[in-house]
Structure 1
Amino acid sequence: MNDRDINHLHPDLQPLCRKWLAQCHEQVIDSFVIYTWRSPAEQDALYAQGRTAPGKIITNAKGGQSKHNFTLPDGTPASKAFDFAIRRKDGTLNWSVGSSEWKAAVAIGKALGLIWGGDFRSIIDSDHFELP
């Protein structure tokens, strides 16, 4: 199951994520976090997709290599990245990166200093923000 707990974000990312959510909601963008921390085993399962497991390749990061896998020295989850989605008024999800809501949500994240996965070169990860 996807970890959606903002408290499992790195202490530097938690306030930025909360600001991003608040600013999106101020612009009537129903954004929400769909993934914060993931274990190295979960990351390995995602890495296997399109390689040794069915599906399409969605990541180049093996377990322990993703910013989603970061922990504090005591082992506490502290993801340096979060994934998000945007919900339409009818309850369906809006995955249209070219829509005005997506463009505004991305602009808000970038203005907060976050790196947007839609700017990645190897694998485009449009629903992803991370610490620089």
Structure 2
Amino acid sequence: MKNVKTALIIIFLLVLGGFLFIWVQKELAFREELRQRPLPTRLHPIVAEHRDRLIERTEEIGIDIVITDGFRSVEEQEALYRQGREDSGNVVTYARGGESYHNYGLAIDFALQLDDGNVVWDIERDDNGNGRRDWFEVADIAKELGFEWGGDWERFRDYPHLQMTFGLSIKELQRGWRPEDVLEE
């Protein structure tokens, strides 16, 4: 009886080991496939659609915005990172190339556009005269549309920044994970 139990345990462990071996091989192949996925070259279609909705909805309440940045290549991100460090100018980002949602087509930056065409990054303005700061009205609309707003961040407030992460971290994006390109109905 003891030999039968031992044999059954050995068979069970061999079968389990076989399943684990196959699963590990598939997981390794999947991860390699992810690593080989190319970086996006444009703004994600859902982000682009919501960007357009944001512009429309802010216009409806008398606030004109301009999108100052969207998709950004890793090389462009590195150049921005060098600004204020190795190159002249002010520091404008703390993210190196590949560390920004812009590099994956999942972020946009905005500013306010005045009637005379000038663009301003003034978070105190209330040009539509409703007693609320225009910048924060734009951010509230963006959040209703599913964007995360950099002005809500604790460590570093990035007021012009809006992003849609689709639940993916920068590390996951760097490993090759990508959100689906399916628009919501």
Scaled to the shorter chain, the TM-score interval is 0.7 to 0.9
Aligned length: 118
Counterpart in the other structure of 1:131: 164
Q: How does 1:34-53 map to 2 (within 5 A)?
A: 34-53=68-87
Which of residues 135, 140, 145 is equivalent to 1:112?
Answer: 145
* 1:37-86 deviations in Å (ceiling 9; x for gaps): 1111110111112222222222121111111111xxxxxxxx10011121
Native 8 Å contact 1:38 1:69 kept in 2: yes
Give, in whole Å, the separation in 2 of the partners of 1:14 and 1:65. 20
Counterpart in the other structure of 1:91: 117
Give 3-state SS (helix, strand or coil) of 1:90's partner: coil
Counterpart in the other structure of 2:57: 23
Q: Does 1:64 align with 2:90?
A: no
Gaps of 5+ in 2: 1-40, 126-132, 166-185
Structure label with greater radius of gyration: 2
The percentage of aligned residue pairs carrying the same residue is: 36
Counterpart in the other structure of 1:81: 107
Counterpart in the other structure of 1:121: 154
Give, in whole Å, the separation in 2 of the partners of 1:92 and 1:33. 13
Give 3-state SS (helix, strand or coil) of 1:85's partner: strand
**Deviation at 1:35?**
1.0
Native 8 Å contact 1:58 1:123 kept in 2: no
Give, in whole Å, the separation in 2 of the partners of 1:87 and 1:126. 15
Structure that is richer in helix per residue: 2
Give 3-state SS (helix, strand or coil) of 1:8's partner: coil
Q: Output the amino acid matched with 2:153.
A: F
Please report the TM-score for the alignment, with normalisation by the length of structure 1.
Answer: 0.80
Q: Output the amino acid matched with 2:108.
A: F
RMSD of Structure 2 on Structure 1 (CA): 1.8
Q: Output the amino acid matched with 1:22.
A: E
Please report the TM-score for the alignment, with normalisation by the length of structure 2.
Answer: 0.58
Counterpart in the other structure of 1:3: none
Give, in whole Å, the separation in 1 of the partners of 2:56 and 2:106. 19
Counterpart in the other structure of 1:74: none
Counterpart in the other structure of 1:76: none
